[in-house]
């Protein structure tokens, strides 16, 4: 019974957009599906699985980078923005992917990596030749400090200094990531012109939007030690909007580790003419260790987690828009981090999906999350492929950490947890490849795979399909006002969404034990159950006895 008769826009307070109702699916192309047996996922492999994605119900597919690249950082180091990496396919394959996706009602969004290029990009190979090369100023060069060392103490996110000395011209260049990812100089208008031209070239091929890699770094002022959220950041984004996608109805999402509720309103505010939304990471980083960061994650503190999620729901309630995600290609697997990947695997994966997808914002699913893929128990550093993990291993072990201790952190937080191949079936290597995969498949694929789940109504996959459909059927899921309850309760997450006469009540137990809960009078329970992760669903009453990781949502009738 779809109730998608929407209230007038004036009542919503915001202009309706197609991406308010859409769910996005992120593909890490290298690990999704290999069509030719070389062990590397590719575009024909993605085309081959479009029916799978259509059945799930997603409207948008975000592809991690597919461009020509030496693959120092798996494509986040681009050597040609207008060519497809040969291991992924051809431009003809890409056009076919866009067309075939469109036929199924889906759009493709590309990863725009313009904070930096590869050191093999022709701009950089030119730039490093001489100080007066026409491309010199495309990058950030500085003379050595008086002692010959780096110009300042900025560090790379992948460990070590953010500066590398280039002997040809006796200067240092900036790289906030690996030394093979030199930062572009956004203060140079020629750099911006080239990027906008390239973006328009892709937009003309019919893409549905961009995910913008570390976009909060482009306004940096390195001499002042400012990297994120620099003074011209929003000027550049407004200029980009005006000169590229502003006149088109697309989805743009900026990756912004530095985002605060205040800056998110600048990025995504309705009159700002910048982006549709940003990825903010406060719910992720609040769980990191103060000294060792993600390499020593803290146990989940639900009170804190709820307060961060709630804060963002409120901050962007009237203006701006939230993105919603648990995982991506840089983060651990959601069910391993926030749920229980062993004892209550199915229940906790469904619970996490329920609480995320019924909040206000556009949900993002990272490939494999929809079948509850888990972190990978690599026991040797040789099994890892990620440039960050390998760099950090070297630095930490040099600094005296035992290799075993480093591996414990990598098992919990290394980026390869998210990058092992998609588990399609019980076939060797999970049906990802007929050859030998570039990174080992998680050994749990014989029991945990898509084939086992797509035709099972009780599977994690089917639960995701239902949640995606609910967003399309119920305006309250898209536009309802968020309110949380039991803020200080350490084990349950309870919230309501309200739109006009409708109220959606979401109740979730975050622990592997039963929890008793007495609901306040306002949360009247005379609704019908939209979704639940236990069957039969919960017995309703004033007193709830939630089973381990139980989660359900009720659509409630108007109060008497
Ligand atoms: C972003 C990407 C990450 C990449 C980095 C540098 O954080 O998500 O995978 O390594 O930027 O491009
Ligand atoms: Ca391949």
Look up tokens 């910048």; give the residue.
274
Distance from the alpha carbon of residue 480 to the mean position of ligand 2, in angstroms: 43
Asked whether 77 and 181 are in contact (CB, 8 A), the reply is yes
The pair phi, psi for residue 238, each rounded to 5°, is -70, -40
Asked whether 4 and 472 are in contact (CB, 8 A), the reply is yes
pLDDT for position 89: 98
Region of 304 please: left (phi>0), alpha (psi -120 to 50) or beta.
alpha
| DSSP secondary structure letters along 283-299 | HHHTTSBTTTBTTSPPP
The answer, yes or no, to whether any atom of ligand 1 lies below 6 A from the CB of 73, is: yes
pLDDT for position 2: 47
The answer, yes or no, to whether any atom of ligand 1 lies below 6 A from the CB of 330, is: yes
For atom 9 of ligand 1, the residue with the nearest CA is 330
3-class DSSP state of 202 = helix
Structure tokens belonging to residue 348: 């906790």
Asked whether 555 and 525 are in contact (CB, 8 A), the reply is no
The answer, yes or no, to whether any atom of ligand 1 lies below 6 A from the CB of 485, is: no
User: In CATH terms, are 122-174 and 480-556 the same topology?
Assistant: no
Which strand (E) or helix (H) includes residue 505? strand 502-509
pLDDT for position 522: 86
Distance from the alpha carbon of residue 366 to the mean position of ligand 1, in angstroms: 15
pLDDT for position 459: 98
Distances (CA, A) of 334 to 243, 340, 397, 553: 37, 9, 28, 20
pLDDT for position 302: 98
The answer, yes or no, to whether any atom of ligand 1 lies below 6 A from the CB of 177, is: yes
3-class DSSP state of 406 = helix
415 CA closest ligand 1 atom index: 9
Look up tokens 């110009």; give the residue.
151
What is the set of active-site residues?
Answer: 213, 255
The answer, yes or no, to whether any atom of ligand 1 lies below 6 A from the CB of 236, is: no
pLDDT for position 469: 98
Taking the CA of 435 as reference, the closest ligand is 2
Structure tokens belonging to residue 34: 């290999």
The answer, yes or no, to whether any atom of ligand 1 lies below 6 A from the CB of 81, is: no
| DSSP secondary structure letters along 28-59 | -GGGT--SSSSSS--HHHHHHTHHHHHHHT-S
How many other C-beta atoms can be found within 10 angstroms of the C-beta atom of residue 59? 24
Q: Which CATH number fits domain 9-116+189-464: 1.20.1070.10, 3.10.180.10, 3.20.20.80, 3.40.50.720?
A: 3.20.20.80
Q: Which CATH number fits domain 122-174: 3.90.400.10, 3.40.1160.10, 3.40.50.261, 3.40.50.300?
A: 3.90.400.10
3-class DSSP state of 533 = coil
Structure tokens belonging to residue 385: 């492929």
The answer, yes or no, to whether any atom of ligand 1 lies below 6 A from the CB of 312, is: no
The edge-to-edge listing of strands for the beta sheet with 492-499 is: 481-485, 492-499, 502-509, 551-556, 528-532
Share of the chain residues as helix, strand and coil, in percent rounded to the nearest 5? 30, 20, 50
The pair phi, psi for residue 173, each rounded to 5°, is -115, 155
Superfamily assignment of 480-556 in CATH? Golgi alpha-mannosidase II (2.60.40.1180)
Using the 8-state DSSP alphabet, how is residue 151 labeled?
S
- Domain ranges (residues) in the chain: 9-116+189-464, 122-174, 480-556
| C-alpha to C-alpha distance for 65 and 450, rounded to whole angstroms | 24
Asked whether 449 and 371 are in contact (CB, 8 A), the reply is yes
Structural Rg of the chain based on CA atoms: 24
**pTM, two decimal places:** 0.97
Distance from the alpha carbon of residue 494 to the mean position of ligand 2, in angstroms: 44
How many other C-beta atoms can be found within 10 angstroms of the C-beta atom of residue 146? 6
The answer, yes or no, to whether any atom of ligand 1 lies below 6 A from the CB of 113, is: yes
Distances (CA, A) of 471 to 61, 226, 392: 17, 40, 41
CA dihedral (219, 224, 229, 234) positive or negative: negative
177 CA closest ligand 1 atom index: 6
Q: How far is CA 425 from the centre of its chain?
A: 25
Asked whether 460 and 541 are in contact (CB, 8 A), the reply is no
For a substitution probing ligand 1, which of 28, 77, 121, 214 has the most ligand atoms within 8 Å of its CB?
A: 214
Q: How far is CA 246 from the centre of its chain?
A: 23
Distance from the alpha carbon of residue 432 to the mean position of ligand 2, in angstroms: 10
3-class DSSP state of 494 = strand
Cβ burial, residue 282 (10 Å; 0-12/13-18/19+): middle
116 CA closest ligand 1 atom index: 12
- Per-residue pLDDT in tens (0 to 9) along the chain, 560 residues: 445 566 667 667 678 999 999 999 999 999 999 999 999 999 999 999 999 999 999 999 999 999 999 999 999 999 999 999 999 999 999 999 999 999 999 999 999 999 999 999 999 999 999 999 999 999 999 999 999 999 999 999 999 999 999 999 999 999 999 999 999 999 999 999 999 999 999 999 999 999 999 999 999 999 999 999 999 999 999 999 999 999 999 999 999 999 999 999 999 999 999 999 999 999 999 999 998 899 999 999 999 999 999 999 999 999 999 999 999 999 999 999 999 999 999 999 999 999 999 999 999 999 999 999 999 999 999 999 999 999 999 999 999 999 999 999 999 999 999 999 999 999 999 999 999 999 999 999 999 999 999 999 999 999 999 999 999 999 999 999 999 999 999 999 999 999 988 999 999 999 999 999 999 988 866 789 999 999 877 777 778 999 999 999 999 865 55
Can you state the angle between helices 233-243 and 261-268, rounded to 10 degrees? 20
Cis peptide before 76 (omega within 30 of 0): no
329 CA closest ligand 1 atom index: 9
């Amino acid at each position: 019974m779809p109730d998608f008769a929407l209230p007038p826009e004036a009542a919503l307070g915001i202009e309706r957009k197609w991406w308010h109702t859409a769910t996005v699916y992120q593909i890490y192309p290298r690990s999704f599906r290999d069509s030719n047996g070389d062990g590397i996922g590719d575009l024909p492999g993605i085309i081959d699985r479009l029916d799978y994605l259509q059945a799930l119900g997603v409207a948008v597919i975000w592809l991690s980078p597919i461009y020509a690249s030496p693959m120092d950082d798996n494509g986040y180091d681009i050597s040609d923005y207008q060519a497809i990496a040969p291991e992924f396919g051809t431009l003809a394959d890409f056009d076919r992917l866009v067309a075939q996706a469109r036929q199924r009602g889906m759009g493709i969004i590309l990863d725009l990596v313009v904070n930096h290029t590869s050191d093999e990009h022709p701009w950089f190979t030119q730039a490093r030749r001489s100080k007066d090369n026409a491309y010199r100023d495309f990058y950030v060069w500085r003379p050595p400090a008086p002692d010959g060392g780096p110009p300042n103490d900025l560090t790379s996110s992948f460990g070590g200094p953010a500066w590398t000395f280039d002997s040809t011209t006796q200067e240092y260049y900036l790289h906030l990531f690996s030394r093979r990812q030199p930062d572009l100089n956004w203060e140079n208008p020629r750099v911006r012109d080239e990027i906008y031209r390239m973006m328009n070239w892709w937009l003309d091929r019919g893409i549905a939007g961009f995910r913008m890699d570390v976009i909060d770094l482009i306004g940096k002022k390195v001499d002042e030690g400012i990297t994120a959220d620099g003074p011209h950041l929003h000027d550049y984004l407004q200029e980009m909007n005006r000169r590229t996608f502003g006149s088109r109805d697309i989805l743009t999402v900026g990756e912004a580790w530095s985002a605060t509720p205040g800056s998110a309103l600048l990025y995504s505010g309705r009159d700002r003419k910048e982006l549709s939304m940003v990825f903010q990471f406060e719910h992720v980083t609040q769980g990191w260790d103060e000294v060792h960061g993600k390499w020593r994650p803290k146990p989940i503190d639900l009170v804190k987690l709820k307060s961060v999620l709630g804060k963002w729901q409120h901050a962007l309630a009237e203006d701006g828009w939230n993105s919603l995600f648990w995982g991506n290609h840089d983060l651990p697997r959601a069910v391993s981090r926030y749920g229980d990947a062993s004892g209550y695997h199915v229940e906790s994966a469904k619970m996490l999906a329920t609480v995320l997808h019924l909040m206000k914002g556009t949900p993002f699913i990272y490939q494999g999350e929809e079948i509850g893929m888990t972190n990978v128990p690599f026991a040797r550093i040789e099994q890892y492929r990620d440039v960050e993990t390998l760099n950090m291993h070297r630095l930490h072990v040099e600094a005296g950490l035992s290799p075993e201790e480093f591996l414990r952190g990598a098992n919990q937080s290394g980026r390869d947890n998210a990058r092992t191949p998609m588990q399609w079936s019980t076939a060797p290597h999970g049906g990802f490849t007929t050859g030998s995969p570039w990174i080992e498949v998680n050994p749990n694929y014989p029991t945990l795979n898509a084939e086992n789940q797509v035709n099972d109504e009780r599977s994690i996959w089917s639960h995701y399909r239902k949640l995606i459909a609910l967003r399309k059927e119920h305006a309250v899921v898209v536009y309802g006002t968020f309110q949380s309850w039991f803020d200080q309760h350490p084990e349950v997450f309870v919230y309501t969404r309200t739109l006009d006469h409708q109220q959606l009540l979401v109740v979730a137990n975050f622990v592997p034990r039963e929890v008793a809960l007495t609901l306040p009078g306002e949360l009247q329970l005379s609704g019908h159950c939209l979704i639940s992760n236990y069957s039969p669903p919960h017995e309703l009453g004033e007193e709830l006895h939630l089973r381990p990781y139980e989660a359900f949502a009720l659509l409630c009738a108007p109060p008497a």
